[in-house]
Structure 1
């Protein structure tokens, strides 16, 4: 919601190319716009990867977008930590805690774990590939591309198809927030755009 409020969770080409290659390149302008928005939402999550270092495709565009997400997440985490600190310094909360309880208190605050752009790249790779297919609405076609992604693009991702499903569930959650948001935060034109992208994605997920 904070990214939306700042108007940076969108489908705008905010980075010039070159040097920030790696934005969606296939399909119509609408396909590329929609793929960009969905992959940026997916970049809010994490790709489950074997512990050998990232081995998939690269995208400087999504890596640059990740820096925006990181800055906003870090700022919100700082607000949460300072709010807790102020509460304790003022004596508005109990300070009689064991070492273990202090650790749990810190880890219990939101936005502790950083996200990566791997899931966004996975979604972009999948959607970029599927626009080549004439039968993109057929389950067999989508499953074939998922198998190709697991075999060729992300061989060290234990469950490529499952991670795509997680990304699309994340999309559903963010889109639900967009629809429910007050017009002072998200205007109707933006909501209409997200609705168009959601309808476009329905045949491709």
Structure 2
């Protein structure tokens, strides 16, 4: 049986935001435009600009502001500007010709300075929802995305947690991710009947807080 697909990041984010248990783990997300980007940079200092429809890290741009300098990083290229307007004009030329959103930037825990996040995959079986995998994804050197299709390295989930957050209980964090996954899966299934598999992308900051970076209905 075919599993229902949902391409829009915005639709999935809006759905989870309606439930406090999930909303507490979602970075602030707003529509992409010049005023919103300026305000998000003032508030958070660093954000991610992402296509509303897209996969594999395609089109993701990291934007930051510090000390009056505005920067964005796309793929391996970083550009710096002394004014917001110049940076924004350049950003418009680089981004894909599609609708984007702005997501609060999370400073992910790292291994040797390279970001790590986690993909937790669940599938619907005759016995209900079943965990298929929980793996770490280690960003390729010089990139701000962890996707395996962009050169990221797959790590055992326990190994990734142990080396990126040695001061945090690996057992407890794995349990928290599993619990959050089940909560969000129930929400998604109640809102979108017909979903048969889900892939949750989680980021952990240096305090160990779990953030929902993305939800995929066609996880690779």
Larger CA Rg, structure 1 vs 2: 1
Hey, which of these two has a bigger chunk of strand by percent?
A: 2
Where relative contact order (Cα < 8 A, 6+ residues apart) is larger, the structure is 1
